[in-house]
Amino acid sequence: MSAISSRTGCRAAAPWASVPCRWARASRSSAGPTRPNNARGSCRCRPRLGPPEFCGEHQRTAKRGSQGRGCARPATEGTNKGDTMMGKRVRSLVLSLMMTAVPVAALAQGAPVPEIAGPILGPVTTPHSITLNGKTVRYTATFAEKVLTDATGKPLASISATAYVASPVVKTRPVLFVFNGGPGASSSPLHFGAFGPRSIVKGADGNRMLADNPHSLLADADLVFIDPVSTGFSRVLPGGDGHPYWNADGDAQAVLGLIRDWLRDQGRTGSPVYIAGESYGGFRLATMMKFVGDLPIAGLILISPALDFTAVAENPGNDLPHIFELPAMAVTAWKHGRAKIDAQTPDQVFQVAADYAEGPYALALLKGGQLPAAERDAVAARLGDLIGLPAKTIADANLRIGTQTFLETLLADQGLVVGRLDGRVTGPVPKDAPADRPAAAKDPALGLGRTNVITSSVATDYFKHELNVPVGRDYVSLTLDVNFSWNFQPAKREDGFYVNAAPDIAPVMKAQPGTRLLLVGGYYDMAVPLLSARYAIDRAGIPLDRVTVAAFDAGHSPFDGEAGQVRMREMMHGFLVGR
């Protein structure tokens, strides 16, 4: 089970809290999600965490402990001219996040993103209904493509959105705006794998098909799924240019502009506004807060977010990732029977490892070369117990075991490699993979195809035949070409090359006392360890009494599988309506 707790209220909300939260005082209740207690308590609130996987339709389903598909490396990791070494490392990291979204098996070289002609689509509105919680919910689905222009009014590109609004319209009803990450990923994982009224599922014949989603959040809020430039049906227009939007600030401003326009055009400026972003989408969401101005925000939802890249990038001399990866490694080793930990549940294992990581282990790394040999050996021995590797291997690595080394070593005696996105997943060690391909492409939870542009025939048919969108092209689930063209740096570089969007959230939450933040993550996620996201939030100046942390017994995507969808639905219900 997963856990949920608020920072100062220190209450864990059933049904996720399987054991009392040691990071925060916890109480159990069978009444379902409880609202965070905003009154300051006397306890030290260090929220308890739990795991997600990634991206519904786009993540190839890999059975835990089963074989995964092989994959190969993109011929090019970055096509930006003047790409810095730091930029390449960030790009490699984000590529590993993005590839969780889509089942692709060997990547081709990055290519220029094409301009796409054709009429601007929509708005197109169709009526629908769905049964949620035993009640019939009538709603309209509206797809619309918005043109983005330069300062002179020249059309450059488009961004699109699919809105689901309950009927009759209630103009004070919450609105949840949703997007995924990449960069270069569409909203389809959260759209068709978690929150939307229709899901892409596997039929009895093994083929993917559409079905009503009984866990849709449409029962609690109107939903708007956003596809950034060159994803979904969004595109670079003829004679236009996508580069103004293939960067941190331009992308954030384009998405925020769509949100503002939708609220204004639909007469919904009085609705509580919630925004959810997954993986790089969390970075986008945080970056948007720099430009949010006076737009009232009721809540922010960060799902497995990449916020502070220093906390996750294994660069030489950077010890933070080793600290934050330790609990995920320990839970994974425990799951496979390799850890020596006195604990019975994943959250207990995670807590034991987190306490050691942020205490004795962090102190040992801080001492560097001045760490006494006896102390080094003791730390190596304890790490060996926690993560299931030989103490000598750990000592020889200077107490710093990289993620890929762990994934390839833990079950090497069985000829297996462990999943980065979900440590419960295993697959055979690739025997014919190019030695220079990125580690993310070796993840057994993935299957990567030879094209850089991944389209979804099921999503295309949905828009064409159920929503009546007159489109003659395929829905782009993921484009690696956009990722290869991405500039991860903000437009202004007062902070040098430190890529961290979390502090951009703080001014908004301080200026708007009603804004709350929900952080969701997973125990087995070694792509974006949940401890790293908590670190970013804790040090961003954000009012922690309005932050809730939810932990799932899963990988990088908390909504993976039926059980994950049920837990995510209950948690989001509590956040959206359990104020």
Give pLDDT tens digits for 190-225.
999 999 999 999 888 889 999 999 999 999 999 999
Number of domains in the chain: 1
pLDDT at 316: 85
Whether 64 is in a domain gets the answer no
Whether 212 is in a domain gets the answer yes
pLDDT at 21 over 50: no
299-303 and 3-6 strand pairing: unpaired
pLDDT at 428 over 70: yes
Which of 151-165, 395-409, 463-477, 479-493 has the lowest average pLDDT? 479-493
User: What CATH number is attached to the domain comprising 506?
Assistant: 3.40.50.1820
Whether 53 is in a domain gets the answer no
Decide which of 445 and 290 is more confident: 290
For residue 94, what are the domain limits? 69-314+402-541
> What does the angle CA 62 – CA 130 – CA 258 come to, to the nearest 5 degrees?
80
Can you tell me the mean pLDDT for 309-319?
A: 87
pLDDT at 339: 97
Whether 111 is in a domain gets the answer yes
Query: What percent of the chain is modeled with pLDDT above 90?
Result: 66
pTM of the model: 0.81
pLDDT range class, residue 440, cuts 50, 70, 90: low
Rounded to whole angstroms, how far apart are CA atoms 453 and 457? 13
What burial class does residue 564 get, using C-beta atoms within 10 Å of its C-beta: 0-12 exposed, 13-18 middle, 19+ buried?
buried
Whether 86 is in a domain gets the answer yes
125: which strand partners?
A: 142
Whether 369 is in a domain gets the answer no
Helix residue ranges per DSSP H, 19-158: 85-98
Residue 262's CB is within 10 A of a number of other CB atoms, namely: 19
Model confidence pLDDT, tens digit, residues 88-131: 444 444 444 544 433 333 344 457 888 899 999 999 999 999 99
Question: Of 289, 221, 215, which is closest to residue 252 (Cα–Cα)?
Answer: 289
Whether 55 is in a domain gets the answer no
Determine which helix (DSSP H) or strand (DSSP E) holds 549, and give its type and residue range: strand 547-552
Whether 144 is in a domain gets the answer yes
Cα dihedral sign, 313-314-318-322:
positive
